[in-house]
Chains A and B, each alone.
Chain A
Amino acid sequence: EAGVAQSPRYKIIEKRQSVAFWCNPISGHATLYWYQQILGQGPKLLIQFQNNGVVDDSQLPKDRFSAERLKGVDSTLKIQPAKLEDSAVYLCASSLARTSGRIREQYFGPGTRLTVT
Chain B
Amino acid sequence: KNQVEQSPQSLIILEGKNCTLQCNYTVSPFSNLRWYKQDTGRGPVSLTIMTFSENTKSNGRYTATLDADTKQSSLHITASQLSDSASYICVVISNFGNEKLTFGTGTRLTIIP
- Binary contact track A75-117/B, C-beta < 8 Å → 1, others 0: 0000000000000000101000010000111101111010000
Q: With A41-B105, A42-B105 as given contacts, are A108 and B98 in contact (CB-CB < 8 Å)? A: no
Q: Are B103 and A108 in contact (CB under 8 A)?
A: no
Residue of A nearest to B31 (CB): A103
Is B42 located at the chain interface by the 8 A CB criterion? yes
Q: Are B98 and A56 in contact (CB under 8 A)?
A: yes
Pick the contact of B43: A40, A105, A111 (CB < 8 A): A111
Q: Are B105 and A103 in contact (CB under 8 A)?
A: no
Tell me, rounded to whole Å, the shortest Cβ–Cβ distance linking B6 to chain A. Answer: 9
Q: Are A108 and B99 in contact (CB under 8 A)?
A: no
Query: CB-CB < 8 A to A104: which residues of B?
Result: 99
Query: CB-CB < 8 A to A42: which residues of B?
Result: 4, 89, 91, 103-106
Tell me, rounded to whole Å, the shortest Cβ–Cβ distance linking B43 to chain A. Answer: 3
Q: Are A103 and B51 in contact (CB under 8 A)?
A: yes
Count CB-based A-B contacts (< 8 Å): 45
Chain B stretch 1-56: residues in CB contact (< 8 A) with chain A: 4, 31-32, 41-46, 49, 51
Is A60 located at the chain interface by the 8 A CB criterion? no
Is B111 located at the chain interface by the 8 A CB criterion? no
Q: Are B101 and A110 in contact (CB under 8 A)?
A: no
Q: Are B89 and A103 in contact (CB under 8 A)?
A: no
Query: CB-CB < 8 A to B91: which residues of A?
Result: 42
Interface residues of B (CB under 8 A from A): 4, 31-32, 41-46, 49, 51, 89, 91, 98-101, 103-106
Give 5 CB contacts A-B under 8 Å: A42-B103, A43-B44, A48-B98, A98-B99, A106-B101
Known: A44-B103, A56-B98. 7 other contacts (CB 8 A): A4-B43, A42-B4, A42-B106, A55-B98, A105-B49, A110-B41, A111-B41
- Per CB-CB distance, the 3 closest pairs between chain A and chain B, nearest first, are A108-B43, A42-B103, A108-B44
